[in-house]
Amino acid sequence: MLQNYFNIAIRSLLKNKLFSFINIFGLAVGMACSLLIWLWVKDELSFDRFYPGISNIYYVRSAYSERGQTGVGDVTPGPWQEALEKNVADVRAITKITFGRELLVQVGEKSTKETGIYATSGFFKVFQTPFIEGTASKAIEQPTSIAISRKMAEKYFGKSSAVGKTLKLNNASDMIVSAVFEDIPHNSTVRFNWIVNFKAQEADWMKWWGNSSFKTYALLAPNADPVKVEKVMRQVIKKAAPPQLTSFPLLQKMADTYLYTEYANLKPSGGRIEYVRIFSVVAVFILLIACVNFMNLATARSLKRAREVGVRKVVGAEKKFLVMQFLGESLIVSTLASILATLLVLLVLPVFNTIVMKSIELHWSDPFLWGAIIGLTLITGIVAGSYPALYLSAMQPVRILKGKMTFSNGSLHLRKGLVVFQFGLSIFLIVGTLVIGNQMDYIQNKRLGLDQENVVYLPLEGELGNRLEPFLQEILASPTVSAATTVGEIPTNIYGNSGDLDWTGRDPAVDNTVYATFVGYDFAKTMNISMAGGRDFSKEFAADTTNYIINEAAARMMKMQDPVGKQVKFWMGKGTIVGVMKDFHITSFHTAIKPLILVHYKGLNTEHMMIRIKAGQTSRALAHIERVTHAFNPNYPFTYHFLDESFENMYRSELIVSTLIRYFGIMAIVISCLGLLGLAAFTAEQRTKEIGIRKVLGANVASVVTLLSRDFIKLVLIAIVLATPPAWYVMDRWLNDFAYHTELSWQIFLLAGLIATGIALLTVSFQSIKAALTDPVKSLKTE
């Protein structure tokens, strides 16, 4: 019996080649898109979950809550780690780390920049990493020790043991390799190739309570209640910190840190998890659109197989066997489609990886992959084939054999409803593509308050920090360079903040948290930042080493109408506000512009030099900068970045989402149009005689095309009306995640509707025109 069902299914596929192609190819494209999204989602959900005891590892954030206003930061003050380690019993281990640093590593004649971190000794107790050589307890016990990755050990020491050997870090410190750990997986939020004890680079400012610059992680006892531990942590910090500092610890599960980066009312509210949810829904949408095609075409062609069903029922076939037969045919189609889908995934995976900036692979030994493919095949086959199977098996043999079998109103309404449904989903994706694209254009074109074009920055490493002033003068000597300054952090991505700011008349209840960074002379000039009042730091004023510059947001926070000349107290002690910059974006557009204070100190914590190049002089300027850099710092390779590239990297996630939505939206439209093409072809086939009579009676091509097209276009218009409200709601919520965003407008939805209608009209017209041009003599012979 099964062999018979299989033979019938194959004959049916071969007999109706066009419809078989539409079904198989449409399902294959839908399944391929869903499989690609599943691979991406699986990778997103895997971050950090490979660490042993991940359920007990927590990211310690700093938070504040003042007068109904709340905020959550990524970094904490240096002293928090020691205070929590000593006074919270349920903390089994705790560590603070620096952000990743790319420093020069030298072993003999080999020298390359490698990314690593400085961390306190509890790091490998929190993050239990496999070791190839050495032990976790000894790895970073001493400030002169360094633990390196397997990849780095093989690169510099070959197959011989690396432990006990010496390497030079940053062309200054001779470090002894104490351990070799397994390479950190790509799906880790803490990435490094080397790690050194925190004390090896600790400076006085790192011990200030008001300076938040480090990430802190804690391993709690297995049965510890994180809510209670967090409460104890807050009490400890409140007791230990200076009274003017109001920030407190907030625990976040380590497994959630990659997915949940945004907070509302001190609760995780969003982040990359939103994109995971969006694309999970998109995968379901696309698969449903493909299944709808199958259901529509199978139901539409049911009259072609009605006589077969009637004969089978007359000779004794039971309904359940007919259901099994048609579901089996559907599963055969979905199996063929899944094979084609897998081939399509293999073909486009390299391009997909380039778009999403990942290294996703199909591991055929992975049972989850096979489970996903088999599950996708079964789900698609059952969902797509269930209604046609039930519909066909329920036909009455007497009506069929008397030739009275026609489509019921319920069947016609269902098919129309399915067309509306799939085009509604397609319009939803088109709207998403347009809105996200507009927001990306808004971000890239909106004035930041500073000029990021024609600005390059290079790290102040090696001898550059020791010879900063002559190096700066040599850079400025070229006519291709208009200005240069030093900075502690990239101006468009300042993350360090402090609660040390004080001023006369400050209300103790007012949150005084400001973002802060060190800068050199001519910072505003180099970045082309407009001054609302006062001046930039200048060599002409010796007292600027204890003076400060603030932005307008800081002036508003301090409620100062005319801040220039007012006294404040900050890192360098009491000083005068000499300038007020107009607000510029110091973080991403997701957050409002924060209060900012600039501190001038040319030797302390200056990480980069920002250089403004004259327009049209980029090549000559870079050649000059490289020549000067090599002269001052010959042991280091020349490294530079453009500031606008750094800015774009801040929105990498949004750019990836924009690209994926665009491609998957196109795929959804293609699949929907395949189904529409099939239905139009079937409709034209069913009305062949009618078309022939109309043409004999004088109907022209345009009237025939209109006759065959108008019902489908009506369905698309209904889809536009139904899809607009949910698309508006979802896109409005997405835009509200940005503090600065474009506005939703009716033109976007009109354009989406016109795109969908135009594509549908082209699809249907192709088949309609073909039918309208058919010789009426041939049409009338079909009866």
β partners of residue 175: 167
Alpha helices in 260-356 (DSSP H): 272-300, 302-314, 319-356
Decide: 381 and 327 in contact? Cβ < 8 Å: yes
Decide: 754 and 455 in contact? Cβ < 8 Å: no
Residue range 615-622: average pLDDT?
90
Q: What is the pLDDT of residue 14?
A: 64
Q: What is the pLDDT of residue 407?
A: 46
Q: What is the pLDDT of residue 178?
A: 94
The answer to whether residue 124 scores a pLDDT higher than 90 is yes
SS3 of residue 581 by DSSP: strand
The Cα–Cα gap between 492 and 550 comes to 16
The answer to whether residue 417 scores a pLDDT higher than 80 is no
pLDDT tens column, 581-605: 999 888 777 778 889 999 987 655 6
Q: What is the mean pLDDT of the chain?
A: 82
Distances (CA, A) of 335 to 17, 219, 538, 566: 17, 47, 73, 75
**In 3D, which of 10, 11, 2 has the Cα closest to residue 324?**
2
The Cα–Cα gap between 69 and 65 comes to 6
Decide: 738 and 439 in contact? Cβ < 8 Å: yes
With helix as H, strand as E and coil as C, how does 699-760 read? CCHHHHHHHHHHHHHHHHHHHHHHHHHHHHHHHHHHHCCCCCCCCCCHHHHHHHHHHHHHHH
In angstroms, the first-to-last Cα distance of the chain is: 35
Of how many residues is the chain composed?
A: 783
The Cα–Cα gap between 490 and 647 comes to 9
Distances (CA, A) of 254 to 49, 166, 495: 9, 34, 20
Residue entry with tokens 């468009």: 492
The answer to whether residue 168 scores a pLDDT higher than 80 is yes
pTM of the model: 0.76
pLDDT tens column, 378-406: 877 777 666 666 665 565 555 555 554 44
Residue range 509-520: average pLDDT?
84
Decide: 655 and 441 in contact? Cβ < 8 Å: no
The Cα–Cα gap between 594 and 350 comes to 40
The Cα–Cα gap between 205 and 207 comes to 5
Q: How confident is the model at residue 779 (pLDDT cuts 50, 70, 90)?
A: low
Residue entry with tokens 């505003």: 524
The answer to whether residue 688 scores a pLDDT higher than 80 is no
pLDDT tens column, 265-297: 888 887 888 888 888 888 888 888 777 777 766
The Cα–Cα gap between 364 and 64 comes to 48
Q: Which residue has the higher pLDDT, 492 or 577?
A: 577
Q: What is the pLDDT of residue 60?
A: 95
Burial letters for 712-727: b for 16+ Cβ neighbours within 10 Å, e otherwise?
beebbbbbbebbbeeb
Q: Which residue has the higher pLDDT, 509 or 369?
A: 369
The answer to whether residue 606 scores a pLDDT higher than 90 is no
Residue range 72-84: average pLDDT?
91
The Cα–Cα gap between 611 and 618 comes to 11
Residue 443 token pair: 């971000």
The Cα–Cα gap between 108 and 104 comes to 13
Q: What is the pLDDT of residue 705?
A: 65
Report which secondary-structure segment, H or E, holds 18: helix 17-45
Residue 294: which residues within 8 A CB-CB, separation 6 or more?
Answer: 23, 26, 27, 330, 333, 384, 385, 388
Please spell the DSSP secondary structure of 472-505, one letter per residue.
HHHHHTSTTEEEEEEESS-TT----EES--EETT
Residue 716: which residues within 8 A CB-CB, separation 6 or more?
Answer: 419, 423, 756, 757, 760
Q: Are strands 69-73 and 76-77 parallel, antiparallel or unpaired?
A: unpaired
Which percentage of the chain shows pLDDT scores above 70? Answer: 81
Q: Which residue has the higher pLDDT, 70 or 99?
A: 99
Alpha helices in 582-697 (DSSP H): 618-632, 643-650, 652-686, 688-696
The answer to whether residue 410 scores a pLDDT higher than 80 is no
SS3 of residue 220 by DSSP: strand
Least confident range of 169-178, 409-418, 638-647? 409-418
Q: What is the pLDDT of residue 286?
A: 83
Name the burial class of residue 445, with classes exposed (0-12), middle (13-18) and buried (19+) by CB atoms within 10 angstroms of its CB.
Answer: exposed
The Cα–Cα gap between 149 and 616 comes to 43
- Percent helix, percent strand, percent coil in the chain, to nearest 5: 50, 20, 30
The answer to whether residue 144 scores a pLDDT higher than 60 is yes
Which conformational region is residue 450 in: left (phi greater than 0), alpha (psi within -120 to 50 degrees), or beta? beta
The answer to whether residue 778 scores a pLDDT higher than 80 is no
β partners of residue 431: none
SS3 of residue 617 by DSSP: coil
Q: What is the pLDDT of residue 237?
A: 93
- Count helices and strands in the chain by DSSP H and E runs: 23, 27
Distances (CA, A) of 150 to 183, 185, 697: 6, 12, 83
β partners of residue 60: 216, 251
Decide: 682 and 425 in contact? Cβ < 8 Å: no
Least confident range of 7-11, 37-41, 265-269, 288-292? 7-11
Report which secondary-structure segment, H or E, holds 612: strand 608-613
Residue entry with tokens 């795109």: 755
Least confident range of 79-83, 662-666, 685-689, 750-754? 685-689
SS3 of residue 326 by DSSP: helix
The Cα–Cα gap between 316 and 294 comes to 28
The Cα–Cα gap between 136 and 205 comes to 29
Q: How confident is the model at residue 3 (pLDDT cuts 50, 70, 90)?
A: low
Decide: 355 and 659 in contact? Cβ < 8 Å: yes
Residue 12: which residues within 8 A CB-CB, separation 6 or more?
Answer: 20, 305, 329
Q: How confident is the model at residue 510 (pLDDT cuts 50, 70, 90)?
A: confident
Q: How confident is the model at residue 666 (pLDDT cuts 50, 70, 90)?
A: confident
Which percentage of the chain shows pLDDT scores above 90? Answer: 29
Q: What is the pLDDT of residue 227?
A: 94
Rg (CA), the chain: 33
**In 3D, which of 336, 630, 312 has the Cα closest to residue 462?**
630
Residue range 711-720: average pLDDT?
82
Q: Domains plus CATH for the chain?
A: 2-43+274-439+652-780 (no CATH), 56-96+204-256 (3.30.70), 99-200 (no CATH), 455-650 (no CATH)
Q: What is the pLDDT of residue 176?
A: 93
pLDDT tens column, 729-765: 888 888 887 878 888 888 888 888 888 888 777 777 7
Please tell me which of 179-183, 352-356, 365-369, 646-650 the model is most confident about, judged by mean pLDDT: 179-183
Residue range 52-73: average pLDDT?
85
Q: What is the pLDDT of residue 697?
A: 61
Q: What is the pLDDT of residue 767?
A: 60
Q: What is the pLDDT of residue 717?
A: 86
Residue 147 token pair: 């633990």
The Cα–Cα gap between 185 and 49 comes to 11
Residue range 649-663: average pLDDT?
77
Please tell me which of 71-80, 421-430, 582-591 the model is most confident about, judged by mean pLDDT: 71-80
Least confident range of 32-41, 131-140, 484-493, 663-672? 663-672
Q: What is the pLDDT of residue 328?
A: 72
Q: What is the pLDDT of residue 405?
A: 47
Q: How confident is the model at residue 675 (pLDDT cuts 50, 70, 90)?
A: low
Please tell me which of 218-227, 304-313, 379-388, 669-678 the model is most confident about, judged by mean pLDDT: 218-227
Please tell me which of 613-627, 675-689, 727-741 the model is most confident about, judged by mean pLDDT: 613-627
Q: What is the pLDDT of residue 233?
A: 95
The Cα–Cα gap between 725 and 432 comes to 13
